[in-house]
A and B are shown apart, each in its own frame.
Chain A
Amino acid sequence: MGGNNEKGKTWIWPGVLVGALLILPFVLSQLGRTGEYWIWVTTEMIIMALFASSLNLILGYGGMVSFGHAAFFGVGGYTVALLMKKAGVAFVPALIAAPLAAALAAAMIGWFCVRLVGLYFAILTLAFGQLLYMIVFQAYHFTGGDDGIHGIPKPGFLDPVNYYLLCLILFLGCFWLMKMIVNSSFGLSIRITRENAVRAGFIGMNVKRYQWLNFIVAGAFAGLAGGLFTELNRFAQTEFLHWSRSGDAVFACLVGGMYSLVGPAIGSTVLIFLKIVLQQFHQSLVEIWALFLGLILLCVVLFAPEGLVGLYQHKARGLLVKSEPEFT
């Protein structure tokens, strides 16, 4: 990984970015209503970046397409909602419970899904995602069905700026954790299941078991994102588990770059930003957001399957060969 010089260098840009992100809410809070709006938006961006990154553990590193990841986002979200609104639990314990509940859901769903590969895996994740969506939708008395759960309490000290900072710190913490996991033996094991699952078996690895564990870890991070999102909006909605939200995460990974750690976060942020920009320009354009998104995706799949990060890497190095994930 190079000597001290290089190591010092690789910390500059991320450091600047993190610094900027830390200062941002304070700057924005000076801008009145617009500022408030943007604090809310950037908080959402951070949470969604976490969600997309969690999926990429399965998608980019594990090589498995999951269309049902929103299920864990939703489980985390509803856990916070139910605990806080219906059981009067405080925010912190509720937030801790969110990834745990999501991990449990991922353990159950994942156990079935990893029995399958490729296409069938994708279909089953979609099916389970829809199943969970339907269950939440139908369980009116418990989850409020289509109405969702509203009016979730928010502790006083969590004003917009503080909540933003909380989300940022949690995101950075999770990012650091993911980076560690990816670089660890476990991460290497997951990567080889993507590269050549058969050979992975032939070097003595119980592939299914590791894919399952990876699924659980990814689900836990998604659950945390869901919990944070619920508290941000102070409601939980069935929409949290809808297949289109699973799709959002998939697209964020694709657009940003599946083969890197930052790619999904970048992709997610870019897409949210585009959506907002579109909305500012033309109100009705938001209605055709899916259309727009689909077109972006087509372009990405056909011309730049490694996403924005991939494009940057190729340009920066003038390479034509696919390279290994670069960890910033």
Chain B
Amino acid sequence: MPIGMDKNILRIQGLSKSFDGNSVIAGVSLDIERGELSSIIGPNGAGKTTLFNLITGYHLPDAGRIVFEGRDIVGMQPFEIVRLGIGRAFQITSIFPRLSVLDNVLAALITHRGGNLNFFTPTRKLREVHERAHQVLKDVGLSEMAQQQSGTLAHGNQKRLDIALALALEPKLLLLDEPTAGMSPEERWETVELIQDLWQRLKITMLFIEHDMDIVFKISQKVRVLCYGSLIAQGTPEEISKDRKVIEAYLGEET
């Protein structure tokens, strides 16, 4: 099937990964449809972040296939996979702390456009990139803090910057690892609104890991449940809430 015509932007088949003999992902298969806004949930240690790490090339799977837009991406380096169009926001914010917020985004944009080898033009003179950077900052609501040193931002804003760094790359698939982790209830809903807004406007396929069930139910079109490295259920939030296996998996778990 020609690239881009498949209704599934990402296909995972039989993915497995162990660390030190412990199986963390065991034979996971799932498909992500183009344009979906879906979530992955599961008790702690279910392997959710590892799944993201495998998709983005940070880890090498022991077995299985990962096909993105018709292309097998297993074995590729993270930077290559990112360039193909998978963006990632991290659970523990991963930014460039001593640089300003603006410089953070500029770096992402310049890299995205392949302009890293420019030894001569001072970055402050790249007008077009600056415009686009300010646009991105506006999208995530960080315009006012553009000149601030990113390491000094409040946690919630650092998370937004983390997302902005992924957005700047104009990804086709955006993976968000616990985008609301560590936030106050207010901030959480702000972030959720942001995610929804971005999804509606930019038409990116989004997949996020979440622990807060309210959020999951509010915005996911589809939910996939991971438990001990296996996919135990997938479906609409409604279906999942009634699924026996899911309920069992969460019994005794504090949400």
Known: A199-B165, A203-B82. A189 touches B122 (CB 8 A): no
Contact A186 B96 (CB under 8 A): no
Task: Please determine whether B98 and A202 come into contact, CB atoms closer than 8 angstroms.
Answer: no
Query: Does A244 lie at the interface of the complex (its beta carbon under 8 Å from any beta carbon of B)?
Result: no
Query: Which chain B residues lie closer than 8 Å to A206 at the CB level?
Result: 77, 79
Return B168 CB to nearest CB of chain A, in Å: 7
Contact of A324 among B90, B99, B107, B124 (CB under 8 A): B99
Instruction: Verify if B118 is at the interface (C-beta below 8 Å from A).
Output: yes
CA distance A187 to B108 in the complex (A): 13
- How far does the alpha carbon of A198 sit from the alpha carbon of B92 in the complex, in Å? 13
Contacting residue for A203 out of B99, B111, B149, CB 8 A: B111
Nearest residue, chain A, Cβ from B100: A324
A321 to chain B, nearest CB (A): 7
Tell yes or no: A192 within 8 A of B by CB: yes
**Given B90, B123, B165, B166, which contacts A188 in the complex, CB threshold below 8 Å?**
B123
Do B56 and A185 touch across chains, with their CB atoms under 8 A apart? no
Q: Say whether B110 faces chain A, with CB atoms less than 8 Å apart.
A: yes
A25 to B244 CA separation, bound complex (whole angstroms): 87
* Highest count of chain B CB atoms <10 Å: which of A181, A185, A205: A185
- Known A196-B94, A198-B94; judge A185-B118 contact (CB<8 A): yes
**Most chain B beta-carbon neighbours within 10 Å: one of A180, A196, A210:** A196
Contact between A202 and B168 (Cβ–Cβ < 8 Å)? no
Nearest A residue (CB) for B121: A184
B241 within 8 A of A: no
Q: Which residues of A contact B107 (CB under 8 A)?
A: 188-189, 191-192, 200, 203
A185 to B94, CA, bound (A): 20
Contact with B along A6-37 (1 / 0, CB 8 A): 00000000000000000000000000000000
Pick the contact of A180 from B77, B119, B126 — CB < 8 Å? Answer: B119
Which of these, A188, A200, A204, A205, contacts B103 with CB under 8 Å? A188
Scan B82-112; emit 1 where CB is below 8 A from any A CB, else 0: 1100001010001111111001001110111
A279 at the interface (CB under 8 A from B): no
Q: Which residues of B contact A204 (CB under 8 A)?
A: 79, 82-83, 108, 111-112, 169
Alpha-carbon gap, A111 to B122, bound state (A): 27
| A315 on interface, CB distance cutoff 8 Å | no
Contact present for B120 and A192 (CB under 8 Å) = no
Give every chain A residue within 8 A of B95 (Cβ-Cβ). 195-196, 199
The reply to whether the CB of B23 lies closer than 8 angstroms to some CB of chain A is: no
Assuming A195-B97, A195-B99, A196-B96, is B122 touching A202 (CB within 8 A)?
no
Q: Does A1 contact B (CB under 8 A)?
A: yes
B78: interface (CB < 8 Å): yes
Q: In the complex, which residues 57-83 of chain A have their Cβ closer than 8 Å to any Cβ of chain B?
A: none
Cross-chain contact B79 with A189 (CB below 8 angstroms):
no
CB contact between A195 and one of B98, B115, B122, B126 (< 8 Å): that residue: B98
**Interface status of B152 (Cβ within 8 A of chain A):** yes
Cβ of B125 to closest chain A Cβ, rounded Å: 9
Cross-interface CB contact of B115 among A185, A198, A210, A323, cutoff 8 Å:
A185
Could you tell me if A185 and B99 are in contact, using CB atoms closer than 8 angstroms?
no
B116 partner residues in chain A, CB cutoff 8 A: 185-186, 189, 205, 210
Q: How many chain B residues touch A (Cβ–Cβ < 8 Å)?
A: 39
A183 at the binding interface (Cβ < 8 Å): yes
Which residues of A are found within 8 Å of B97, using beta-carbon distances? 195-196
Closest to A321 in B: B152
The verdict on A141 contacting chain B, using a C-beta distance below 8 Å, is no
| Most B-side CB within 10 Å, residue of A1, A199, A202, A207 | A202
B117 beta carbon closer than 8 Å to chain A: yes
Query: Which residues of A are found within 8 Å of B83, using beta-carbon distances?
Result: 204
* Set of chain A residues within 8 Å of B99, measured between Cβ atoms: 191-192, 195, 324
Shortest CB distance A182–B (Å): 9
B131-167 CB mask vs A (1 if < 8 Å, else 0) is 0000000000000000001001000000000000110
For residue B108, which residues in chain A have a CB less than 8 angstroms away from its CB? 203-204
Give the chain A neighbours of B103 by CB distance below 8 A: 188
Closest residue of chain B to A327, judged by CB? B122
A201 vs B83: C-alpha distance when bound (angstroms):
10
In this assembly, does A282 line the interface, its C-beta being within 8 Å of a C-beta of chain B? no
A186 to B98, CA, bound (A): 17
Q: How far is the CA of A11 from the CA of B252 in the complex (A)?
A: 67
Instruction: Name, among A191, A195, A213, A322, the residue most crowded by chain B CB atoms within 10 Å (CB to CB).
Output: A195
- Which B residues touch A184, using CB under 8 A? 118-123
Chain B residue contacts of A180, Cβ below 8 A: 119-120, 122
Taken residue by residue from 154 to 191, chain A's Cβ proximity to chain B (1 for < 8 Å, 0 otherwise) reads as: 00000000000000000000000000110111111101
* Contact A207–B79 (Cβ < 8 Å): yes
**Complex formed: what's the CA distance from A199 to B96 in Å?**
8
Can you name 7 A-B residue pairings with CB atoms under 8 Å? Answer: A183-B122, A186-B118, A186-B119, A188-B106, A202-B78, A202-B79, A204-B169
Additional A-B contact list (8), CB under 8 Å, known A181-B119, A205-B111: A184-B119, A184-B123, A188-B110, A198-B94, A199-B90, A202-B56, A205-B79, A324-B99
